[in-house]
Amino acid sequence: MTTSQIRQSFLDYFASKGCHIIPSAPLVPKDDPTVLFNIAGMQPIVPYLKGRPHPAGTRLANSQKCVRTSDLEEVGDSSHLTFFEMLGHWSLGDYYKKEALEWIWEWLTAPEYLGLESSKLYATVYQGDKQIPRDDQSIGIWQEIFNDQGLSSEVGKRILTLGREDNWWEIPGAEQSPAGPDSEIFYYLGEQANPVFDPEDPDFIEICNSVFMAYQKTPDGYQDLVKKNVDFGGGLERIAMVKQGKDSVYGIDIFVEIDRAIQAIATKDDLRARRIISDHIRTATMMVGDGVVPDNNGAGYVLRRLVRRALREADRIGIDSQLIDQLVPVVIHLYQDAYQNLAQDKDQIIKVLSKEERLFRATLKKGIRLFHKEVQQKLTGEQAFKLFDTYGFPLELSLEEA
């Protein structure tokens, strides 16, 4: 299955369960000045999880576009991305734990859907503490599911109980917030017949998480909610990686297509550089498609930084022109069925990003000339900062040129 087919399969499945399919919110939140981007699938749904009625009803599902740049320097390894999609379904006082866990299990394992090997799936649940009891209801549901598959359902083996830092959700720092235990599903990537389940082992990858909002956090503790909510999130790229049998998110079909276009114009080979370019140009395309333009502040600054970092890596592997013209049409083609605005705005997206490419390439040429003029011997921190602050010359390039 392609990544696009996996996305559609999820939406079709939950539509069959009565969920209204809502569109992805824009990458830049309209009503939340505290963040630059939507960083999780549930972020646009928070007002409704707090009690506001949703116009589409009490059962919702979508694939939400998200951007996270907190681990920007890690992009290029096997797992970190700046743009990703989060598959989500929500119950606003409607279905609860039994339906949520049984449905996601069916979608993951049934042959007519993803058809993942059930023996490679493991679950974690909340272990409880002095304030909140152990999530025995979720444990019981998982035991029924695993027993039906002829799998071990012993707590401590295929089912692990973990503490608040792993299996509890509430709005960080909020005195009042919906709250509750969650249950994560892990997929085993290794080859052992009977592995010991350890969420810290890189062979076990978390692919999705169901949060059960059963409580209202108050300054005095936790109160039971009359209407309990479900918030499910599953990383599309991670799920595609598992389904397609890859050991890296950069091995899925989406990135294979982008990487093929990069290799066609590169004169040198550097896997990490190609991954950074693939990730950053994909993210930049999505940002501009949602109305972000390069700037020196806010979301526009993040966009500018991503484009310039991609161009630096492109320069490293011998791509000295037309990176945007070659790659952005590939990204748009891959996503235009899911996000039709990309095809409609294709020319404008390319125009915005191509202009940024031209400006930065001119900056690089000017900066290198100034670098060699000003730095006769040893590069000082003051000189490096002047090149960056005055001419936009990247600090990392100053170090390389030195």
Mean pLDDT of 394-401: 57
Phi, psi for 85 (deg, rounded to 5):
-110, 140
Q: Give the confidence band of 353 by pLDDT, cuts at 50, 70, 90.
A: very high
Round the average pLDDT of the chain to a whole number and report it.
93
Decide if 70 contacts 32 (C-beta within 8 A). no
What is the value of pTM for the model shown?
Answer: 0.93
Q: Which residue has the higher pLDDT, 33 or 224?
A: 224
Tokens at 77, concatenated: 């390894």
Residue 356 has pLDDT above 60, yes or no: yes
pLDDT at 166 over 60: yes
Based on the domain organization, do 273 and 188 belong to the same domain? no
Beta-strand runs (E) in 219-363:
221-235
Residues in contact with 239: Cβ distance below 8 Å, sequence separation at least 6, in sequence order: 6, 87, 114, 207, 208
- Dihedral sign of CA atoms 332, 80, 302, 84 in order: positive
User: CA 144 to CA 101: how far, in whole Å?
Assistant: 11
Q: Which two tokens stand for residue 106?
A: 């069916």
d(CA 55, CA 399): 54
> Over 80: is that where the pLDDT of 376 sits?
no
**Among the three residues 251, 274, 306, which one is the final residue of a domain in this structure?**
251
Q: What is the CATH number of the domain that holds 103?
A: 3.30.930.10
Do 268 and 242 belong together in one domain? no
Residue 350: is its pLDDT beyond 90?
A: yes
Beta bridge partners of 125: 161
% the chain with pLDDT above 70: 93
Is 79 found in the same domain as 38? Answer: yes
In the chain, how many domains are there? 2
Q: What is the pLDDT of residue 32?
A: 79
- Dihedral sign for Cα 366, 368, 369, 371, please: positive
CA distance 234 to 64: 10
> Both 65 and 187 in a single domain?
yes
**Domain range spanning residue 382?**
253-401
Give CA–CA dist 254/8, Å, rounded: 15
